[in-house]
């Protein structure tokens, strides 16, 4: 019934009650005791009490109406609250993402929602009445953690925790828990508890942390986190004593391998090597990948014998087969080793010394080399030589020699190869095999290469010789987007015809940055300059490189010429390369010819062009012609 209707009802009941009161009063006082009729208005005028009695029904009716309305409002509020509580309990019981339930003041479960059943595996019938401590591990129960959490909630009005909780089947999950006390007035009646299963979130966070600290391809520590681990370990050894060995692990000619078999297979090799590396690691040993084919391994140890065992295990990884998805591949690697605190006092120096050792390993018969102090001296000498090269460019210490190239049948000079030489003011003539790698490492090869192009064009442009001048170009030059523009500028300044130039590039120079290198070669070719593929047959991807660009000539590496007299295998390789050149309609030039017998074999096999000390030694441009023609004349006469 509505409050307004309820109030009217109480007013009418009050009025009827009030009317009954004066009737009874008057009847008793007047009507029953007096014989004659009495006028009610007169009676009221004679006695004011009768007025009060007359108004009493209305007053009492109003009072009863107000009391009734207040009573109904209170009753309706109680009913609505009960309905809301019922709806809320139904809602809470239906929630499935969160375990929501209440505990009594002793920690016993009082009610249980669908989320709690889903997360913990208990039905309400199975768990209500049991202590919530059953969700904790035995260790936590023994330590009194469940009781401590309730006390913390009571003390702080809330207790928020994370930790492992256990389901009915014994499996565990990572839970985020909130416990709050519930009071009626000032009396504690229990606790409300919300539990959320955060296992997936925790696993995702763990994976994100791992992704941030691990190399995506191999799963090893990445550079940043390996260095953090190394610094931490060195800090501990500083106070606790002991040694830290750092091994730098570098796969031999991996760029060539990667280009030969493809990047996906190359990634498989890296993953396989890292798996082999991880398999030999023992306690207190950590591996990481710095990028490319560079791996690092750290070992903490106390006795020298432990280091010997560590080195032997690394040797087993440094060579052998790795098994890919479609085939097996033979891989070798060089390892450089440095030890704290014997070889370095900090991580940067330790890494640098291990790098020096791995470089020595690349030229050593032993593929695992430990750092020595002599390597520092060698490094200082290399740096000094790099500084001297800068001065040499300014003071014209570099110069060019030219070696003739011959048509094998007519024995006429068809070209010259420009070869860089350096006369150091103190050390005398320094071999290109010594200073060229240093120039490449210290970023000088581009300036030196530009100087060679400019000088060769200047010296040969006004000559009567109309053949080609061959000039070696490095991979660094081809990778430079501005190289072709500088080459054009050189041709303009010197007046050299582009058709008289032949640039020689190695497979390695192309592989360094294949896309950019091939783009540069196309630009060079468009100028009318010939392109020769140098040192053909020594790389991993000779055929692939040959197919990638229309070269003008193949230069057979001099290593094959050395075995022509005694090795049937060398003859077979030479024969195959010459046949390949014919199929591509490319002339083949054999380098390193030093004996008549070598020349005879090449002539018989159909080689087109030759070059070597037998026919002409390198000389300055002014004396090259008479020397070369004299040698050719002797050869023709014989």
Gyration radius from the chain CA atoms = 49
- Which of the four pLDDT bands, split at 50, 70 and 90, describes residue 28? very low
pLDDT at 317: 87
- Give 256: exposed, middle or buried? Use CB within 10 Å, 0-12, 13-18, 19+: middle
Cβ neighbour number for residue 547 with a 10 Å cutoff: 10
- Which of the four pLDDT bands, split at 50, 70 and 90, describes residue 563? confident
- Which of the four pLDDT bands, split at 50, 70 and 90, describes residue 140? very high
- Which of the four pLDDT bands, split at 50, 70 and 90, describes residue 24? very low
- Which of the four pLDDT bands, split at 50, 70 and 90, describes residue 143? very high
The per-residue pLDDT of the chain, averaged, comes to 83
pLDDT at 169: 93
User: What pLDDT, in 10s, does the model give residues 49-88?
Assistant: 555 655 655 565 566 556 666 655 655 555 555 554 444 4
DSSP state of 189: E
Lowest mean pLDDT among 29-33, 120-124, 323-327, 483-487: 29-33
Would the pLDDT of 115 be above 60? Answer: yes
pLDDT at 84: 47
Note whether 574 and 590 are within 8 A (CB): yes
What percent of the chain stands above pLDDT 70? 80
Q: With a threshold of 0.85, does the pTM exceed it? A: no
pLDDT at 365: 77
* 599, containing H or E segment: helix 596-605
How do strand 243-251 and strand 328-340 relate by DSSP bridges?
Answer: antiparallel
Average pLDDT over residues 134-143: 94
Residue 553 CA to residue 412 CA, distance in Å, equals: 18
Residue at token pair 């695992």: 368
Lowest mean pLDDT among 13-22, 53-62, 365-374, 546-555: 13-22
How do strand 428-430 and strand 328-340 relate by DSSP bridges?
Answer: unpaired
Q: Where are the alpha helices (DSSP H) in 95-191?
A: 114-120, 124-127, 138-142, 145-156
pLDDT at 56: 59
Average pLDDT over residues 103-111: 93
Would the pLDDT of 499 be above 80? Answer: yes
pLDDT at 631: 53
CB-based contacts of 60: which residues, under 8 Å, 6+ apart?
A: 14, 15, 17, 18
Average pLDDT over residues 594-622: 91
Note whether 350 and 246 are within 8 A (CB): yes
User: What pLDDT, in 10s, does the model give residues 355-408?
Assistant: 999 988 887 778 888 998 888 888 888 889 999 999 999 898 999 999 999 999
pLDDT at 547: 80
Most confident of 302-311, 358-367, 509-518: 302-311
Closest CA to 173 of 184, 183, 163: 163
pLDDT at 536: 82
Residue 76 main-chain phi, psi, to 5 deg: -65, -40
What percent of the chain stands above pLDDT 90? 45
Q: Strand 109-112: give its sheet, edge to edge.
A: 109-112, 99-103, 187-197, 172-184, 159-166
Residue 617 CA to residue 335 CA, distance in Å, equals: 39
The neighbouring-strand residues paired with 334 are 250
Would the pLDDT of 91 be above 80? Answer: no
Residue 360 CA to residue 372 CA, distance in Å, equals: 10
pLDDT at 78: 55
How do strand 159-166 and strand 243-251 relate by DSSP bridges?
Answer: unpaired
* 333, containing H or E segment: strand 328-340
Cis peptide before 341 (omega within 30 of 0): yes
The neighbouring-strand residues paired with 472 are 504
Cβ neighbour number for residue 177 with a 10 Å cutoff: 18
CB-based contacts of 335: which residues, under 8 Å, 6+ apart?
A: 247, 248, 249, 250, 314, 315, 318, 358, 361, 367, 368, 369
Lowest mean pLDDT among 139-153, 181-195, 228-242, 555-569: 555-569
Residue at token pair 């055929």: 543
Average pLDDT over residues 610-617: 92
- Which of the four pLDDT bands, split at 50, 70 and 90, describes residue 625? low
């Amino acid at each position: 019934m509505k409050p307004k209707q309820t109030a009217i009802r109480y007013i009418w009941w009050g009025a009827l009650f009030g009317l009954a009161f004066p009737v009874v009063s008057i009847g008793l006082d007047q009507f029953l005791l007096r014989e004659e009729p009495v006028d009610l208005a007169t009676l009221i005028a004679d006695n004011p009490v009768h007025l009060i009695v007359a108004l009493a029904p209305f007053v009492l009716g109003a009072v009863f109406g107000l009391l009734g309305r207040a009573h109904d409002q209170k009753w309706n509020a109680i009913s609505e609250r009960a309905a809301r509580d019922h709806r809320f309990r139904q809602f809470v019981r239906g929630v499935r993402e969160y375990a929501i339930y209440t505990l009594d003041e002793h920690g016993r479960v009082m009610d249980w929602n669908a989320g709690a059943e889903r997360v913990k595996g208990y039905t309400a019938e199975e768990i209500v009445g049991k202590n919530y401590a059953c969700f904790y591990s035995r260790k936590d129960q023994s330590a009194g953690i469940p009781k401590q959490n309730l006390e913390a909630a009571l003390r702080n009005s809330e207790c928020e925790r994370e930790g492992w909780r256990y389901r009915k089947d014994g499996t565990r999950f990572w839970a985020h828990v909130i416990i709050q006390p519930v009071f009626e007035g000032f009396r504690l009646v229990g606790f409300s508890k919300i539990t959320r299963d955060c296992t997936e979130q925790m696993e995702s966070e763990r994976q994100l942390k791992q992704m941030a600290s691990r190399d995506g391809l191999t799963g090893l520590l990445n550079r940043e986190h390996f260095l953090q681990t190394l610094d931490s370990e060195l800090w501990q050894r500083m106070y606790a004593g002991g040694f830290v060995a750092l091994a730098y692990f570098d796969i031999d000619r991996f760029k060539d391998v990667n280009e030969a078999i493809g990047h996906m297979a190359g990634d498989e090799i890296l993953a396989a090597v890292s798996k082999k590396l991880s398999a030999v690691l023992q306690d207190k040993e950590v591996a990481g990948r710095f990028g490319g084919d560079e791996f690092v391994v750290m070992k903490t140890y106390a006795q020298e014998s432990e280091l010997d065992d560590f080195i032997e295990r690394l040797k087993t990884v440094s060579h052998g087969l790795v098994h890919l998805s479609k085939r097996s591949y033979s891989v070798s690697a060089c390892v450089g080793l440095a030890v704290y605190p014997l070889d370095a006092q900090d991580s940067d120096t330790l890494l640098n010394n291990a790098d020096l050792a791995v470089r020595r390993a690349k030229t050593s018969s032993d593929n695992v080399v430990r750092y020595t102090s002599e390597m520092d001296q060698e490094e200082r000498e290399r740096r000094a030589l790099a500084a001297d090269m800068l001065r040499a460019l300014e003071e014209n210490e570099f110069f060019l020699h030219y070696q003739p190239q011959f048509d094998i049948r007519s024995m006429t000079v068809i070209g010259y190869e420009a070869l860089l030489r350096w006369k150091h003011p103190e050390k005398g003539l320094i071999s290109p095999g010594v200073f060229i790698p240093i120039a490449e490492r210290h970023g000088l090869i581009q300036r030196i290469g530009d100087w060679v192009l400019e000088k060769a064009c200047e010296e040969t442009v006004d000559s009567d010789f109309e053949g080609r001048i061959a000039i070696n170009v490095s991979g660094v030059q081809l990778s430079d987007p501005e190289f072709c523009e500088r080459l054009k500028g050189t041709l303009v300044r010197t007046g050299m015809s582009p058709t008289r130039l032949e640039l020689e590039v190695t497979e390695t120079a192309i592989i360094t940055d294949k896309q950019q290198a091939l783009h540069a070669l196309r630009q060079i070719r468009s100028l009318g300059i010939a392109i020769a593929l140098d040192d053909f047959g020594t790389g991993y991807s000779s055929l692939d490189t040959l197919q990638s660009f229309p070269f003008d000539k193949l230069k057979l590496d001099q290593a094959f010429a050395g075995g022509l007299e005694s090795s049937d295998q060398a003859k077979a390789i030479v024969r195959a390369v010459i046949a390949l050149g014919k199929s591509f309609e490319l002339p083949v030039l054999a380098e390193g010819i030093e004996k008549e017998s070598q020349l005879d074999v090449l002539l018989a096999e159909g080689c087109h062009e030759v070059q070597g000390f037998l026919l002409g030694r390198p000389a300055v441009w002014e004396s090259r012609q008479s020397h070369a023609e004299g040698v050719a004349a002797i050869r023709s006469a014989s």
